[in-house]
Structures are given as C-alpha cells and as structure tokens.
Amino acid sequence: MEVRLDEPWPTTVAEAVALQERLRHRVSAVDSRPGPVRTVAGVDVAYDRDSSRIAAAVVVLDYTTLEVVQTSTALSTATFPYEPGLFAFRELPAVVEALRGLSVDPDLLVCDGHGLAHPRRFGLACHLGVLTGIPTFGVAKTVFIGEFAPPATRRGSWSPLIVDTDVVGAALRTRSGVKPVFVSVGHRISLDTAREHTLTLCTQYRLPETTRQADRLSRTTLIEHTGPDGSGAT
C-alpha cells in the first residue's frame, strides 16, 4: 500500500512536538468509512534490549474469521530520542516501511498504543491514521493520561477516560473479571465504533487478535535478525 511522508521527519523533540501540533487538527473522531469492514490490520513494534534495533510488523486479518490474510515486516534503527508522548517518531518510519510492503489496503488499522488519549491529543494511532487515511484506533494495556472509574467486571463494560472535562478514550473490559484495556480514537472513527471493534477482535484474550499477532511477528522478526543476545542473526 502507498503511504506518503509529506514533511521532513523530525530529529529533535521540539520539531516533533511542533509536527504533532500542526497535524492534530486533521484528526476526525467521526465514522467516515462506508460499507462493512472486511480486513483489519494490527501494527506493533519490538525493541531489541541491547541496541537501537527495532522490528515493525503489520498483520492483516479477515475481519470475520480473524484468519491471517497477509503480513509484512521491516527492520530499522530507532534514531529518535526516547521521549514519552513522542514514541511515534521512533516507531513510525519502520511501521510505514512495513505498511508499504502490503499488497492490500486494510479497511481498519489497530495500534498497540494511544490516539486521542495523549497530552497533545495526537498519539501513535492518530499519527498513523492521518498518514494513511485509514480508520485507525489504539488499544493500550496501560493508561498514559486521564482518569477513569473502574468499569463493571463483565465483558463489554466500560467507563470514560477523561482529561479535564474531555473524554479521550474508554477503559473497556474485554474479558469478565480481567483488567480493562484502554481504547482511544486515532482517525476517521468514533469511540463507540472503536470499542465495538475491540470487543469483536478480543475473542479469547484480553488484547485484540490484531495486536497479539503483530506482537508475535515483530518479536520473531527481531530475534531472527539480531539473535536472542542481540549479536546478529543466528
């Protein structure tokens, strides 16, 4: 699939923050994709513990059966500083390269991370959605910003994630009696629809199948190319 980077990629924290401020106004939290979702892609990145090597993975699933349709990976070196709120600038170059390896354009993208639940309302899911134009949302394992009341214990229960007076996401129970995940809008999708998709994609586990598959593939790819000790392919 085609993904364009129209602006020079930031190399400093100030440049990255400025880009987020410029692009965040493009985000739409309204459902804008006509027709049913047939394919959904999960995106994740694995980091080597002993170097700056990273591996990005994209796994496209059939939305109905959750069977794998296509995968793509990319290896890269993370050159941007480790800075909370700016992880997209470490990860997106590799993610974009992996997306470019797909021969199909997925109908929906799911990130292991946040979207509007971000200090500047422009997390990884927002950035990726704006770059691709594909409806995108984030499902994170932990809270980055915001307050929430614990949702009821049954599957499907949720409570709003709030910053000041703004609802920036949802704490969603994907399995009864298991701690919630945190869903937030990325682009071209509403929070209600993002929650519904998350439940559909969480059939047996706390995390969406998209995330589980992409996480596994990114880790496997990194080990295959760096070795378990980071010393090179085995």
For residue 180, what pLDDT is reported? 98
Place of tokens 């399995």: 175
Specify whether domain 29-226 bears CATH 3.20.20.60: no
**Phi, psi for residue 215 in degrees, rounded to 5:** -60, -45
Over the stretch 136-153, which tens digit does the pLDDT of each residue have?
999 999 999 999 999 999
Q: With bands split at pLDDT 50, 70 and 90, how would you rate the model's confidence at 228?
A: low
- pTM of this prediction? 0.93
Compute CA 211 distance to the chain's CA centroid, rounded to the nearest angstrom: 8
95, 56 in Cβ contact below 8 A? yes
Cα gap 183→130, rounded to integer Å: 18
Over the stretch 20-69, which tens digit does the pLDDT of each residue have?
999 999 999 999 988 899 999 999 999 998 899 999 999 999 999 999 99
User: What is the average pLDDT score of the chain?
Assistant: 94
**Residue 232 in this model has a pLDDT that exceeds 70:** no
Strands across the sheet containing 181-187: 68-77, 53-62, 39-47, 108-111, 136-140, 181-187, 166-172, 158-163
What residues form DSSP beta bridges with 187?
Answer: 136
User: Which residue positions form the known binding site?
Assistant: 44, 112
User: Which residue positions form the known binding site for Mg(2+)?
Assistant: 44, 112
**Residue 230 in this model has a pLDDT that exceeds 60:** no
For residue 150, what pLDDT is reported? 96
Q: Angle at the Cα of 136 (from 13 to 160), degrees rounded to 5?
A: 85
What residues form DSSP beta bridges with 146?
Answer: none
Q: Is 37 exposed, middle or buried (0-12, 13-18, 19+ CB in 10 A)?
A: middle
